[in-house]
Amino acid sequence: MRIAIDTGGTFTDIVYFQDSQFVVLKVFSTPSDPGRAVIEGLHKISPDPDVVVRHGTTVATNAMLERKGARVAFLTTKGFEDTIAIGRQARPKLYDWFQPAPECLVPKQLRFGISERISSNGELLVAIDPSDLEIVVTAIADAGVDAIAVSTLFSFTNPDSEIKIAAALERLGLPLSISHRILPEFREYERASTIVANAYVAPKVGSYITTLAANIAKVYTGSRLEVMQSSGGIISARIAAAEPVRTMLSGPAGGVIGAYKLAGLAGFDQIIGFDMGGTSTDVFLVDATGPHISNESILTGIPIGVPMLDIHTAGAGGGSIARFDAGGLLRVGPESAGADPGPICFGCGTQPTVTDANLVLGRLDTDRFMGGSVTLDRDRMLQYMEQEKGSLATVEEFASGILRVVETSMEKAIRVISIERGYDPRDFTLVAFGGGGPLHACSLAHALQVPRVLIPALPGALSAVGILLADTMREYSRTVMQTIDTDLEEIFAELERQGFNEFEAEGLAGKSFRSVDLRYRGQGYELNLPYSPDMVPAFHALHQRRYGFANEGRPLDIVNIRVRVAAPAETFEPPRQEIVEGDGSAALVGTRAVYFDGTSHLTRLYERDKLHAGDTFSGPAIISEYSSATILPPGDVLRVDAFKNLVIEVHA
């Protein structure tokens, strides 16, 4: 039996199969100890003794966001100790003269250099002096660090120096992050930054995973823990603990895979994903080639070079706090009420949030929220909203303003991953999920002129569904710096052997996928394409779409080669229902006044579980379910497809 668990800012979602159906359980997250909510949830279900628990964790992400990672020592080639602090000259905000310099994760006194040198083609220029190495190891031991990052110059061409350094450091018994093991690629700063980030979160993530695996084993004998990685694949708990930098976007990656797979089953292969949770909103784009993976991500100002799904995050969620700034302007987020104290209507919070605004406008059901397991305190919420509305005439006007501000923020995020990258949103379907996604999807679709919205089954737990359906996967790479006509078969085969051997050790059979990073000679950045005979014309076409021009007469270079080894997850296709034309009247449970664009409309209320394939009706309507609620504005038309997805045609 497989169970998927996704830890969010407000809720921890648990999804598993039962009688060929997804079953969803939500429990409140426990931010001080995320594993406690996981165990509490597992105690509420009765799986087989031999169970595989798949986990999307935010421990690494939170450690980076809150800067609560380990005390790290950084060891590199002598003379290059300050590379990770100097970074690049690129300015995130070009005209902001007062922006602070990015904070280096390693203070100056913990950066160490050793006399060694490898040339750019792998030649040993300066060998390590054993006595010099012993001095450095002693200095690191005396520094009282929690973890060590090692990234020497050109180690991706010849790892001998790093191998000797790692052997000498082993006796300290500290977590070691070695660059040629984790990221054997060029670009010294990005490689070092990635290794430092791995070391920074390694003690906390390693301890969390080890403790969680032991606690799960107490609940279910024969259990095995697996972890979702940022690239959309599953890795073992052992690898996640050793290379936690691969889990920085663990939870959001599950949402990408869930949306991609369920939308594909419904017949939509070009989607814009919109995942609105309690603390933030994640957006992404999937075209006909599948989810996009980036090797140039930046997380909290820190470059991360390992493969990560291309996800853009905005600080806008259901728990985002609304306030008036010193100039009297209404601001929403990025601060969030989270799970503790949570929105006002949950009973403990005192600051207005997006969830409270939705309740004011009649968009949430006080009695059936979370299947009736959570009662929303409307009277308490109205009291605090009245106090905080400032000079606005009514709480309804205040709430409408909150939604306009937060939806504008989310609209800007979608423009970043679509319009700014050469994609027209009108060619895509907006797939909305997360607890808040279906509440705001149609408003965003209208603003972006997206013609269609898809609300998949279990939208509030789709990230956990994606974790359940994800393939087991490992990625391997190497910088080669070769011309386009170079025979790379031997290097590809070497990386594939490494992957197949690791999979075999875990009892898995994997299939390999080859790709290369190509660029025009003299360029500083690359585009990744599948390694195939027609990759040259494919590169020109991709370059044309991405940058607006192509130079077919210019020579190409292969910078990096990449191998992805994947073991497919168990095939699952939700049962199809027979399409029977209907108007959804069997699911109608009442009516309520709901505000749309500042005007109150008498709105029909439906229970999603009672809708049947083929039901079609127009808005205004609200479709409630256990993990979310879908808002259908006036004029938009909803139909239920054979998989019980809600497909909404958006009318201008």
Confidence of residue 18 (pLDDT cuts 50, 70, 90): confident
* Confidence at residue 43, expressed as pLDDT on a 0 to 100 scale: 86
pLDDT bucket at 626, cuts 50 / 70 / 90: confident
Between 89 and 614, residue with greater pLDDT: 614
How does pLDDT run across 519-563, given as a tens digit for each residue? 999 999 899 999 999 999 999 999 998 888 999 999 999 999 999
Determine what percent of the chain is predicted with pLDDT higher than 70.
Answer: 98
Band (pLDDT 50/70/90 cuts) for residue 318 is: confident
Specify the pLDDT at position 221. 80
* pLDDT tens readout for residues 436-460: 899 999 999 999 999 999 999 888 8
* pLDDT at position 477: 95
Contact 450, 411 (CB under 8 A): no
Kindly tell me if the per-residue pLDDT of 21 is higher than 80: no
How far from chain centre, in Å, is Cα 381?
A: 31
The token pair that represents 99 in the structure block: 């922006």
**According to the model, what pLDDT value does residue 368 have?**
64
Lowest mean pLDDT among 95-109, 141-155, 480-494: 95-109
pLDDT of residue 47: 66
pLDDT of residue 452: 97
Is the Cβ–Cβ distance between 607 and 589 less than 8 Å? Answer: yes
- Residue type (1 letter), 223: S
Q: Is the per-residue pLDDT at 82 higher than 90? A: yes
Hey, how many other C-beta atoms are within 10 angstroms of the C-beta on 504?
11
Structure confidence at residue 369 (pLDDT) = 67
Q: Kindly calculate the radius of gyration of the chain based on its CA atoms and give it in whole angstroms.
A: 26
Question: What confidence score (pLDDT) does residue 232 get?
Answer: 94
- Bridge pairing between strands 52-56 and 224-228: parallel
Can you give the pLDDT at residue 367? 67
Compute how many other C-beta atoms are within 10 angstroms of the C-beta atom of residue 397.
14
Please name each of the domains of the chain with its CATH number: 2-59+204-247 (3.30.420.40), 65-200 (3.40.50), 472-567 (3.30.1490), 585-649 (no CATH)
At residue 159 the predicted structure's pLDDT band, cuts being 50, 70 and 90, is: very high
Q: Please tell me the distance from the alpha carbon of residue 615 to that of residue 623, in angstroms, as a whole number.
A: 12
| pLDDT tens sequence across 252-263 | 899 999 999 999
pLDDT at 612: 95
Tens digit of each residue's pLDDT (9 = 90 or more) over 366-388: 766 666 556 788 888 888 898 88
Q: φ, ψ for residue 237 (rounded to 5)? A: -60, -35
Residue 111 has pLDDT above 80, yes or no: yes
| Structure confidence by residue, pLDDT tens digits, 399-436 | 999 999 999 999 999 999 999 888 999 999 999 998 88
Distance CA 534, CA 74 (A): 42
Whether the bond between 130 and the residue before it is cis, its omega within 30 degrees of 0, is no
First to last CA, the chain: 46
Whether the Cβ atoms of residue 555 and residue 520 lie closer than 8 Å to each other: yes
> Is the pLDDT assigned to residue 27 strictly greater than 60?
yes
0.85 cut: is pTM over it? yes
441 neighbors 636 (Cβ within 8 angstroms): no
